[in-house]
């Protein structure tokens, strides 16, 4: 399985964390993404902004290999992901951290178990799990919640668990699709501080959001998408201008 994966690896493209070349996505006759060209270097923090229906989630679904582009190339960490075999996709995703608006936790499991699960599916040893889960829970500020059932947490805490789970395998890229969509302004801001910290520790962050205030206060790169097209790419101190 891994051999098939590496057959799709291009060492020259590996210089970029994400690269999209002339990407189009069509659903039936509806063109949802049109000629998307985008390059994200290792260590970047990029916010993808745009109004509802602009195509942000579609772009994320392409990046996590949930769907294939209708045309164009997508490289993530050097892998030509449109050409991955179905059996390679779980392996590819293990190299990514992904978080969503609705957290996607296992509600009847504890905080510890939710995070440990991401290590178990990668066949990590019990010793690794016992060592690494407390470390990552400490990083997201949830050490004291380890034994709590996840459905009893606040929304902000749930998103922290999701972040811990996304990071526990030490991915080089974290993809976040509207991570503050279910959070109040205080929790939203705390989650953003955590994403900034994760980025400062070396993880590339690709964030899709329509939260104008947050984007404007980040002072990072901002890519604006409207009606499926990138209309602006501000490399520094970007603003949500729509």
Q: Under the rule (CB under 6 A), what is the footprint of ligand ADP?
A: 27, 30, 32, 50, 52-58
Say which residues have a Cβ less than 8 Å from residue 114's Cβ, sequence separation at least 6: 105, 106, 150, 161, 165
In the block, tokens 């959070």 appear at 183
Residue whose CB is less far from ligand ADP, 21 or 226: 226
Residue whose CB is less far from ligand ADP, 55 or 78: 55
Q: β-strand 30-41 against 16-27: which pairing, if any?
A: antiparallel
CA distance 201 to 6: 27
Residue whose CB is less far from ligand ADP, 60 or 142: 60
- The minimum distance between CB 145 and ligand ADP, in angstroms, equals 30
Q: What's the distance, CA 115 to chain centroid?
A: 16
- The minimum distance between CB 104 and ligand ADP, in angstroms, equals 16
Q: What's the distance, CA 99 to chain centroid?
A: 6
List the alpha helices (DSSP H) in the chain. 2-6, 56-63, 89-94, 111-120, 126-139, 155-167, 185-200, 212-218
- The minimum distance between CB 232 and ligand ADP, in angstroms, equals 15
In the block, tokens 């910290």 appear at 197
Residue whose CB is less far from ligand ADP, 57 or 224: 57
Residue whose CB is less far from ligand ADP, 42 or 102: 102
- The minimum distance between CB 167 and ligand ADP, in angstroms, equals 23
- The minimum distance between CB 52 and ligand ADP, in angstroms, equals 4
């Amino acid at each position: 399985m891994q051999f098939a994966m590496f057959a799709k690896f291009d060492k020259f493209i590996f210089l970029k964390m994400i690269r999209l070349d002339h990407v189009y996505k069509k659903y039936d006759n509806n063109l949802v993404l049109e000629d998307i060209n985008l390059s994200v270097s290792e260590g970047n923090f990029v916010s993808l902004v745009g109004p509802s229906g602009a195509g942000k989630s579609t772009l994320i679904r392409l990046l996590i290999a949930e769907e294939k582009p209708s045309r164009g190339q997508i490289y993530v960490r050097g892998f030509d992901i449109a050409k991955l075999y179905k059996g390679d996709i779980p392996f590819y995703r293990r190299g990514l951290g992904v978080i969503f608006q609705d957290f996607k936790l296992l509600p009847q499991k504890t905080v510890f178990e939710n995070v440990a699960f991401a290590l178990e599916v990668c066949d990590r040893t019990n010793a690794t799990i016992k060592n690494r889960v407390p470390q990552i829970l400490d990083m997201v500020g949830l050490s004291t919640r380890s034994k709590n059932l996840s459905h009893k947490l606040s929304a902000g805490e749930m998103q922290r668990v999701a972040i811990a789970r996304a990071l526990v395998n030490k991915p080089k890229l974290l993809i976040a699709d509207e991570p503050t969509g279910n959070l109040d302004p205080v929790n939203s801001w705390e989650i953003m501080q955590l994403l900034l910290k994760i980025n400062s520790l070396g993880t590339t962050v690709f964030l899709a959001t329509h939260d104008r205030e947050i984007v404007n206060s980040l002072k990072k790169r901002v890519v604006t998408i409207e009606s499926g097209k990138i209309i602006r790419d501000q490399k520094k101190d970007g603003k949500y201008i729509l």
